[in-house]
Each structure stands twice: as structure tokens, then as C-alpha cells.
Amino acid sequence: MIARARAAGYRVLVVTVDIPGPTRRRRDIQSGLSVPPRFGARAVMQILSCPRWALGMARRGVPVFENLAPYFPKGSLADAADFLGQMMVGHIGPARLSRIRAAWQGPLIVKGVLHPDEAAEALALGADGVVISNHGGRQLDAAPAAPEMLPAVRDRLGDGALVLADGGVRSGLDVARMIARGADAVLIGRPFLHAAAAHPKGPAHLAAVLRAELETTMIQLGAKRLADLRGTIWRG
Ligand SMILES: Cc1cc2nc3c(=O)[nH]c(=O)nc-3n(C[C@H](O)[C@H](O)[C@H](O)COP(=O)(O)O)c2cc1C
């Protein structure tokens, strides 16, 4: 996979270390999310309540994991889900991270770190940066949120280290909060998925809204550069 990423022209490798195995996601179970999907009365009602989305799905077909498709076993979606579970083969500890570091010459980012010691260890093993993340709150309900851990991580790593963060960023103000707590930049997951599901231009619109909100936040706080946000706000 690393060789393929290099051949495809990727410049930065992000290695996720916080998903050693599949988890039981109670909310997904309770809300009836399953692979393959079950089309009960509730799901059908929800589909009917989103006619534009439903028509788009009918026209374009159900999305597939194009990059994984060649590796999936031929068969049902359930087989594909089992296959994904089998690919999660435990923690990525120092030994495996070192092997990955040796195999990839470009910038390497370690994603899914929360504890300052773990962040320091990733850098000591040769990573160029870390993503402070609890995997969008999807893996371990007891895990702290990134903004709770950011100040201690920044203290430990110092000003020069590349520290990214994600989880729950929903506005430009949330971006500012992460940066205020010690991040250099944020990553955003679900809002872009929802925006893309709503409209092809949704992600670009979302980016413009987030940018405008971040700018007004910076103006309010008198911050000329992102770095000026450090230590300014923290309100949950
Ligand atoms: C549907 C879904 C699939 C995800 N799959 C992965 C994945 O394969 N690898 C990974 O590192 N993170 C994965 N994540 C976590 C995101 O990379 C990210 O950490 C998280 O979504 C950030 O939180 P946010 O969605 O609140 O912005 C996934 C998140 C979602 C919602």
C-alpha cells in the first residue's frame, strides 16, 4: 500500500493508530445502521423525506470504496464489512511505526494520538507531525476530546512541532477553539460528508462558510494570523 501511495503521487502519509479493531457502536446499532443496509419502514420513510438525495442515489448508484474495491472479496456487502474488520490487526506500536517510517521517505503524520507521551513517542520515532484525535468520538466513548488534550500535548512537544487536531469541528469558531488550545490546523470529517451528500457544490460552500466564520472570529479577537489565536478562547 505504501508503494502504491508513492506511485500514485501522494506526498504525505497519514497513519491511523487509534483503530486496533472494530468496535460496537451502540448508537449505530440503536439507529439501525448496518452493513449491508436493512430497508425497514423507518429507512424507507427517511429516504422518502430526502427526495433530491434519493433521486441522485438512484441516478448515480450507491457509492463504493473505489480504492478498496480491488481487494474486497467477491460477494456481498457483508463479506466486504467482514474483510475490513479482518484488516484491523491490533495496535500500531513503536515497532510497526518504525517499519512504516523506514518504508516511507516523505512526510509522515501519525493520527489518533491523545496523550502527550504518545505524541512525543511518535515524533521520536520519526513522525513529522501528529493528529490529536479521538476518531470523531466513534471508537471509545471514554476517550477525551482533542481540545481537552491539546494544551498538554503542545506543552510537551513545544512550539515547533506540527500538531493537527480533529473531532467535532462544526464552525469557524470551533476551528479557532482548536487553534487557541494548541493546534496548528484542524481536520474536518462529517460536515464535508454531509455537505457532499446534500449537493455537489456543498463541500466548497461549507469551506467558504467556515473560512468566513473563522475570519470574523479572528477579527473579534484581534488576531492577524492563525498563530495569534493561541491561548485566546476556550468556551465549551
Ligand atoms: C464514516 C466515517 C469513516 C471514517 N473512517 C476513517 C478511516 O478509515 N480512517 C481514519 O483515520 N479515520 C476515519 N474516520 C475518522 C475521521 O478521519 C476523523 O477523525 C473524524 O471524522 C473527525 O471528526 P468529525 O467527523 O467530527 O470532523 C472516519 C469517520 C467517519 C465519520
**pLDDT > 70 fraction of the chain, expressed in percent and rounded:** 97
Q: Which of 18, 139, 190, 193 to mutate for ligand 1's pocket (most ligand atoms within 8 Å of CB)?
A: 190
Superfamily of domain 2-20+92-229: Aldolase class I (3.20.20.70)
Strand pairing category for 185-187 and 162-166: parallel
Q: What are 225's three cell numbers?
A: 494570523
pLDDT in tens, 128-154: 999 999 999 988 999 999 999 999 999
End-to-end Cα distance, the chain? 39
The pLDDT mean for the chain works out to: 91
Burial class (CB in 10 A: 0-12, 13-18, 19+), 115: middle
Integer CA distances (angstroms), 136 to 69, 81, 145, 191, in order = 25, 20, 9, 11
> 208 versus 61: which is more confidently predicted?
208
Res 84 pLDDT > 60: yes
Residue tagged active-site, from 135, 194, 199, 205: 135
Integer CA distances (angstroms), 183 to 42, 153, 192, in order = 41, 9, 20
How far apart are the CA of 219 and the centre of ligand 1, in A?
Answer: 31
Res 210 pLDDT > 80: yes
The pLDDT, as a whole number, for residue 76 is: 67
| Nearest protein Cα to ligand 1, atom 31 | 190
Could you give the CA distance from residue 97 to residue 92 in angstroms, rounded to a whole number? 6
How far apart are the CA of 153 and the centre of ligand 1, in A?
Answer: 21
Task: Give, as one character, the DSSP assignment of residue 61.
Answer: -
CA 217 to chain centre: 24
Query: Of ligand 1's atoms, which has the minimum distance to the CA of residue 14?
Result: 11
| Nearest protein Cα to ligand 1, atom 5 | 135
The mean per-residue pLDDT over the stretch 71-92 comes to 77
The 10 Å CB-count burial string (b at 16+, else e) for 150-168 is bbbbbebbeeebbbbbbbb
Please state which of the ranges 45-54, 95-104, 114-123, 153-162 shows the lowest mean pLDDT. Answer: 45-54
> 45 versus 234: which is more confidently predicted?
45
| Nearest protein Cα to ligand 1, atom 13 | 135
- Could you tell me where the DSSP H helices lie in 49-161? 51-60, 77-87, 94-103, 116-124, 146-157
Query: Of ligand 1's atoms, which has the minimum distance to the CA of residue 136?
Result: 23
The pLDDT, as a whole number, for residue 73 is: 75
- Which residues of the chain does CATH 3.20.20.70 include? 2-20+92-229
Confirm if 172 and 217 have CB atoms less than 8 A apart: yes
Which residues have any ligand 1 atom within 6 Å of their CB? 16, 111, 133, 135-136, 166-169, 188-190
The pLDDT, as a whole number, for residue 96 is: 94
Res 29 pLDDT > 60: yes
The pLDDT, as a whole number, for residue 22 is: 81
The pLDDT, as a whole number, for residue 236 is: 52
The pLDDT, as a whole number, for residue 167 is: 98
* CB neighbour list of residue 167: distance below 8 Å, 6 or more residues apart: 133, 134, 135, 136, 137, 145, 146
| Nearest protein Cα to ligand 1, atom 6 | 135
Whether residue 135 lies in the annotated active site:
yes
The mean per-residue pLDDT over the stretch 207-233 comes to 95
The pLDDT, as a whole number, for residue 161 is: 98
pLDDT in tens, 171-200: 999 999 999 999 999 999 999 999 998 888
pTM: 0.90
How far apart are the CA of 132 and the centre of ligand 1, in A?
Answer: 13
**pLDDT-based confidence at residue 117 (cuts at 50, 70, 90):** very high
Q: Long-range contacts for 155-159 (Cβ within 8 Å, ≥24 apart)?
A: 155/116, 155/182, 156/116, 156/117, 156/119, 156/120, 157/116, 157/119, 157/120, 157/123, 157/130
Q: How many residues does the chain have?
A: 236
